[in-house]
Structure 1
Amino acid sequence: MSWEYKELNDSFIEEYEGYKLENQSHYEAVVRTFDENYSEIYSDSMEKAVLFVISAELLIKQSRIYKVSKENYIRELSSIDFNNVKEHISMGQLNENEFEELYLRRNVVLKALEKMPVDLCPKVRWFYDEIVNTINTLFFNYQKIEDVMNNVLNTFQNEFRNKACAKKIVYTTIAENLIRLNKKLPGDIIDEIKDGLFDNSDFELTEEESQDLSKRIAKVLENLDS
């Protein structure tokens, strides 16, 4: 059964939000939702256009995009045949207004995508600012330190498996918040950051992010020594 325009848009966002509730990063939630819905064989031209447009609209909310993904999205968005898409009006999958809306959305997101900074790391992951902002928000809304610590670690547990920098970012941000709240730092937090080193050989962080993390770790260690 073919999707209707509005139904497919709504379903995509609902599924994306569901993955986010499972503690997946914005990036991973977009990729998984796209993969669950897209089929080169079975998706029709209208469905393919909607899926590429809506996933691109979400991806441009990131700070950057992997260079190969950027190239692929630009190619796919540029090659949408809107004459074929328009044929689906007669099939009842979208109306004239929705067709015009989709065409405009494609043009807007394509321009934004072309301007996006390139990411050198192919890993689907939480980005640096995304991790820091998420943890800071959880701490600002905390009631019990133990609960917020567990929440933070549960949120990023999967990220620790094959993302070399993730644990350092998470533990440093936890340490900063505990220091701000005049709370004692657990031994495992101190042990993780005390050497001040992290592996950025896969370019998970930009140069600016790497420098920022180094400064933040150094400041935390200064607080521990004072």
Structure 2
Amino acid sequence: MRRNYEALFGAYYERYFDFKSEKMSDAEAIACTADAYYGVQSRGEMEKAVVYIAEGKIHLTHSKIFIKAKERIVGALNSLDLNKLQIETTSDEYKDILERRDMVLDEIDNIPVDYSPYSRWKYHEMGKEVNNYFGLIYNELKDKSKIIEKVLDRFERECTNTLSENIVVKTALLELLIRYNVKVDEEELVKLRSELEQFEIGYVGQQLSEFEKLDLSFRIKDLMSKL
């Protein structure tokens, strides 16, 4: 039993990082992993415990947790049948599971709650991802005028996923173009500026917190004054 127990934890984390390697956001990668292991928790109490503990531990590394995911994980871990769990595991496994479960339950309340149901890059994560990619290609790209095209190609999926991702990508991109004084195609620059000018912060709904909305509004206003 011990081998299966450890292997299930390892397989769950491996599947998550496989999704991350496909350039998914933290939220999308864990959502896809949870879907992939949807039926596993019904095989036994050990499997149920491991799957929800693993999912919970991954969420502890994220900046936010979707409210429904939190409720589902907490509910599942609190409803474990400990008598069945003892039968299915060794005494060491049983003790280890309870320690891991308690750690997840203790720490999960420290993660800010996300009320938007969209699996997406979170505000600061998205900006960081754009900055990282921009830095990666800036020195490699001989024709800097194509940098807008390259960045938007890389984040095409995110820009069509949610409005918050779309606007944060383009805000971060414009900030970097100004910071590095990059000479780009004027038509592309006008298109980006026009999109930000027409953007209404209320359209993002619960995809951003009130603080994030305020911060994004200030960033866009600052950009408009510089362009």
Does TM-score exceed 0.5, indicating one fold?
A: yes
Q: Note if 1:169 corresponds to 2:168.
A: yes
Superposition deviation, residue 37 in structure 1: 1.4
The verdict on how the C-alpha distance between 1:41 and 1:219 changes in structure 2, with shifts beyond 3 A counting, is closer
Q: Note if 1:181 corresponds to 2:184.
A: no
The verdict on how the C-alpha distance between 1:149 and 1:81 changes in structure 2, with shifts beyond 3 A counting, is farther
Residue by residue, what CA displacement relative to the aligned partner does 1:116-159 show, whole Å, maximum 9, x if unpaired? 32222111211101101111122233322578756643453223
The verdict on how the C-alpha distance between 1:216 and 1:82 changes in structure 2, with shifts beyond 3 A counting, is same
Query: Secondary structure in 1 aligned to 2:117?
Result: coil
Paired residues for 1:14-33 under 5 Å: 14-33=14-33
Query: Secondary structure in 2 aligned to 1:126?
Result: coil
Paired residues for 1:77-116 under 5 Å: 77-89=77-89, 95-116=90-111
Identity of aligned residues (%): 29
- The separation in 1 between residues aligned to 2:208 and 2:171, in whole angstroms, is 15
Residues 40 and 47 in structure 2, CA contact (< 8 A), matched pair in contact too: no
- The separation in 1 between residues aligned to 2:6 and 2:218, in whole angstroms, is 47
Structure 2: gaps of 5 or more residues: none
- Give the residue type in structure 1 aligned to 2:94: F
- The separation in 1 between residues aligned to 2:83 and 2:56, in whole angstroms, is 21
Which residue in the other structure is 1:46 paired with? 46
Greater share of helix = 2
Aligned residue pair count = 218
Superposition deviation, residue 43 in structure 1: 2.5
Residues 164 and 199 in structure 1, CA contact (< 8 A), matched pair in contact too: no
Superposition deviation, residue 162 in structure 1: 4.3
- Give the residue type in structure 2 aligned to 1:126: W
- Give the residue type in structure 1 aligned to 2:108: L
| Segment of structure 1 superposing worse, 135-144 or 121-130 | 135-144
RMSD between aligned residues: 2.5
The verdict on how the C-alpha distance between 1:150 and 1:37 changes in structure 2, with shifts beyond 3 A counting, is farther
- The separation in 1 between residues aligned to 2:146 and 2:35, in whole angstroms, is 34
Superposition deviation, residue 54 in structure 1: 0.6
Which residue in the other structure is 1:92 paired with? none
Paired residues for 1:151-170 under 5 Å: 152-170=151-169
Which residue in the other structure is 1:203 paired with? 206
Normalising to structure 1: TM-score of the pair?
0.84
- Give the residue type in structure 2 aligned to 1:184: K
Normalising to structure 2: TM-score of the pair?
0.84
The verdict on how the C-alpha distance between 1:193 and 1:49 changes in structure 2, with shifts beyond 3 A counting, is same
Query: Secondary structure in 1 aligned to 2:83?
Result: helix
Structure 1: gaps of 5 or more residues: 90-94
- Give the residue type in structure 1 aligned to 2:223: V
Residues 63 and 117 in structure 1, CA contact (< 8 A), matched pair in contact too: yes
| Segment of structure 1 superposing worse, 140-149 or 54-63 | 140-149
